[in-house]
Structure 1
């Protein structure tokens, strides 16, 4: 009996030792490579085994050793990437194995799991909940195709150290408060992860957090103030689709910062003094709306290796930062006084000091560019070379009145009424020798009232706290301006009238809010309906008054609306040096985006109401067409802007200009580009035909261009052509081939049937295409008023000269080098086809699809057959497909006889030679 008891005690002792070993295994180990202890030969627990078998069945291809019939902790099978401890799964590493599939929904039953590495694979579906994986110290699921993060995903993850969620297609989600319980978190990266909402405050309270990467998401709001004093070393918040905003002064109080990426947002205000950030190496601030001078502390920071500031609104002198550190290609978009390091003019420095009092408003920084304030600086008026008037009235500026005003001794008028200014009126202003007017009415100023000379008109009404020691509230609504008598005695009753003033202010605020809401409704811009293009003005109403920021949703499409600010930056404030050309709509500028992408910016210029309405109509039509048409031979619309009374279209940049520029000399009789060879001209013609065929028949909705001409055909680096300018385009009604509309187009390219009847079909574009072919062959303009009246209209002249084969050679573009018989034959074939396209009878013109077939054979080295005489007789009414077949069959016919028959078509043409130049027009009714 005693022996049995001793055996029982020994067994109990063994069980206690095993229990202690198991408890010891749950103690938190170091992270990463030290997470796993040497494995022991324990079989996998039943709970873990079920999860791992489900995992093995859900991924493809299965990693080495993974099978639903084996034990992941059995050393004989060795599941690749799996580490066990006492029969529990503690480490799974499947990094970069080209795996796909899903994760088991109950993966959180692996409650001993410490590390999960699944990055750089192709896993799909929603992430399962990780809730209550209390031992989990790190997980990496970045660069997969996960679609959703479930609720309570981070709940109970109290030992998290490293998290990576980057580059997944998650549904929109916000960083939950549950994550605040992970107080040991050192790194949280979730760039391109679909995050929305605000940056949580709790990140700033995590003393161990060193890396926070949230780039390329949809975050809004500002950088939390809780980040002050935090230990964050790497802060990546750049390229938010919805743009972060507010100031960045928090950065100056984050002493551990080493890398800061805030580019491509909407941050405003001044760059803070960063001298406390002695470890700072990289600072990316480009593409924001930062204002004010670059802090001088930047110049002495030895730790800096890279700084970008391009495309802000920074002021003052160009920063004296070493060129190998300042990684800006140029100072585009900023408002420096000069384009290289050096001092600003003293008057510029004084004006910047004035702007500092207001907090460097964007509206000031946007226009105060250069070193001469007398050249187009907003709010500044000069007499001679002296600044005499500063008018900042009714701009809603906050801040204070800077003593810097007193440094501009030539000032005669200072107008600051109806803003939100606080503080006192500087005594220094009383010493301005030429001051005639100071208007500070309608603000929140306080302190004593300064005494000016008797000849100075001093207006200070509607500052209820002026003349008292009471600090004003943060803001109040300005009231009407009244000039009081200069008797300070009335301020003794301020305590009596203060309640009445407060009540009046409340009523006024309510009234103003209601008024602004009504005005917003009046000026809101509704989306364009794609149902019709007949009345585009109904879909793009223009604001009744300009505003600096206008929320515009002009088309039912995402990503097209651009801000006027971004376009000003891209074009160097619409510099004349960037003008590419001018047309009926306005001026086209060359622009460059922050990433180096070149764009073409078409800016409407018109002050007459009637013409402006017409151009807005064209603007609407162009957007409606281009947002539904995507083709390699149609110029791509990248965006548009309706803001600040500006109407702008933005296109892809075509580096080789227009076909007109390559065919014709400019007004100075100079050619801008080398002459095109015959093969290039054929390829261009085919490209245009493909684009027009798509527009007519291949797209979801069919349109007629109505203004096809060389100036609307653009060329890229490879001399490939794209059709542009769809301002006159018309949607073809369903089930119809023709319809009546107002006549629009360009003289010389206008089809006679359309001009005579107002009924338009796709054959109107075919006619214009034929004229373009004639220009490619002859180098002549469609209408040339410098020639005799009998020769000034290209189509009529072309039909006369094409009949005489030998003399026709003399009329080919002299810059066109036809070197062999084969090219000569092809040229004659194309000339004949051009005549077909311009037939007076629209029924006898080919479709653009026929043009593609015809030209494609030449471009791809097809040798054309000769044509029969009958092909060009006006009595031949066979289909164009039949004619193509006949051309191919009649290979022994004489090209001479074919060309002779052009006289039949020539006799059917009528001249449309205008008395003026070939400007685009629209018929007025």
Structure 2
């Protein structure tokens, strides 16, 4: 029976025939060309023989063409049969109606348009969706169907591909009802939210990819039900929590891509079952514990990547069984010593990266590794000489051995294919072989022991002598006290007239550069294996915000590994080092291209200052926003080292390849002392006059210094003992910059009232202008410090060393006699409370974007104080009036560390409470128990104030809105959080607002253990991790009036601000105790007069003699009785306890629990009756 073909089938067969003919013809032509090439006279072959070769080749070609034509006819006939069969199936079969409904709903929801070749408007499983010749990989968007069900009458959807379509939103539940899926590709979109446990319905799944999205939450255990899974990718998402044990059920798994996914914890022991694993990428996570031994049993493994985690050493020797590996990358093992013995038999390797793993021992030759191209063993403890054979390796092109302890000289010979060599920071010495002069060779020998003179002096780029061990140029003869570098770009003069010198040299994987005047230098080392054409500078024409120097940030220096800058010939002393960053490579869009993550560490003078520094995160989750960090650094050996180090974290695969190393736009270092050097480069003159001057001037200078020394010695002997003590204090090794009182008096116009900015809890604050033009805020400390001068200066030195872009910078102090003054940077937009609640609101309105950045900035500042500063600092009085705003409305926390100046007894119960009602954490207010969680509580209150634009309590509002925390909780319970947002805002981001409200409610939970750390608060606000559910009502302390204080209780001092002006501090609440015995019954009681007849209930009410009571507002109980001993809210004292009597009139309330009996101190219990 003749087969009827459609026009589409005829076209398909025709194109197949044409392609085959072209293939045959091109094959014949190539053979003839080869025959002609073979016929040309060659060495050892006669012309006659060569001529005879051509016809033989031609005959062979004709025979091959006949065979190919026969194959073509057979192939075409098969195509006719297959196409006709496919046509019959697609004509008679229909898509399962439920699956068709689901798929159409998904496409409509996401606004997806199908390809022209896919007949989605009619039968879904028609056209390319059901043919057997077009792979799913060629369709986007696309589906594949299996139409063999119910005797070829029903089609089920088996494959779905939605790749790089910028789809946003959560994964709908309907997706998990496509239970016949065996291939699901959702890579490179912007899916958010968690993965449902219903994913376990997809038991036929073989190839699953969610890579490069923004999914979050924990991985569901139901992944373990997809036991036919062969490949899974969840890379570059925001997941959290451990890998479920149930992943060990996926025994057919061959490929696992989980790098940069956010998971944490150890690799489960159940992974021992995954013996078919071939590819495992698990870098850039928070995996902990040791690398499991059982990975050595994955005998089919060819790729293993475990960089940038938190693994403990050593590397297990069992990995030596993985002899099929071609790509092995393990880095940044925290401790434990390993050796290179385990790689001995991995001779198939082409890439071997074992960076920063504390590997010791000698360096093998790797002579049997015939495919090795990249070897990176940098930042380990390798010792001994470099094997000559390693430099003569036939395939090796990149060799990184920097930051080890290698000794000896350079090998005499080198393979011409070895182009990038980093040997910096070792102990190498000797002369340079001839190959160091090769063109296109990159060789980094910084920080070794080479002597650069004679034949060595011209072998390499100039300046290497200044970058040898101990950086000898201008050592002990300093000539500089400042420098500024425009990293990766041309010379620029900044807005404040600072000259940034150009640094746009052509750097590469193993290079260095030293300026002609030997003022500064740069060294780079590292090559990302996946980036064949890495760029070491970046450039953008887009404007950069949050700065007046946009041009400064539009170019930057990039690195793939280790980037070091050096200040040379510096005068010793304290310096402020300012590092300037902006992210230019990652886009500001809600697409997968915004998912790039650049993470690196910052070291200054070898000390870790920032771990996992992420420019974009520091900028509030956006690119093209300037991020400046300032640090106080001490120079002791006339050089400064700034080291930006990639520790294996960051995006490997998008938006551009390997966006994961350091990036910096500018560096600026200035002395914090009165410099004695000229900052003029030294002259090279060696004439006689110069020699004479060089001798005479030092002699005269020494003589003058001696005379001055004698004079000042006599002068100091005649001064009062008090002045002598002050000078000794100012001579402390660790001391802040000190101003004279006369200098500050002139700066503030004799502390003129017109210069007064306000009155804080620690004293008045005045605006001033220093002699160098800096605007400052001068705080007069009005409360006498309990510390001596030495302790006071040490504390101020500590505070001034704590620097962060979200902390007010402390320039120094003044200490003369009993005067104590602090000098801060001046913030022109004053405090947050003035803008939110005060008259400043009329002049400066905060839009939603600014409020979001303020919430984020304050969180970052507190996270720095709690977790990164040394020492760690608890603020103790976080409130809106202690958050100042700069010219860009960026928030800066003020007054951190000051409470310590007034009470250095930081014990559990001896510390007075320094805080403000409405912001006080309950455990701190009641028991004096101070941890960083007290700041977390206060931050939650501030965050709600920022979102709502109102203070934490306002009696002018309706009862249900009086207390902000109570109102926020009620709105949260009823899913009406957006009603809390300031109604004057014209626009707001609902997701961000709900996220911040949820975070604030978490922060204000009663038990401190339920409050998150501030680093997690930052992550939650940024959307990097999910906001945990809030299940309990927040707790808060409010204002109480204390009347008729006749009770005799003993307690320490409590300072609590109660007025609407949050800067006022009221008098201490003092109780005294009389230890009298009491008989049964009640001889003295606490009479309460609660507002609105709400009966107070005790909750942690009396600790160490402090009596604070707080009602449960959900219960309206009857008013208190006038009968002292029988009143429902009469406190009954046990017979062995002191007998208090105190009238309390609560104005506001503390929300607590229903607990009716609590212990007072160690002996006294109070019970409140309830009805």
Taking structure 2 as the reference length, the TM-score comes to 0.31
Taking structure 1 as the reference length, the TM-score comes to 0.38
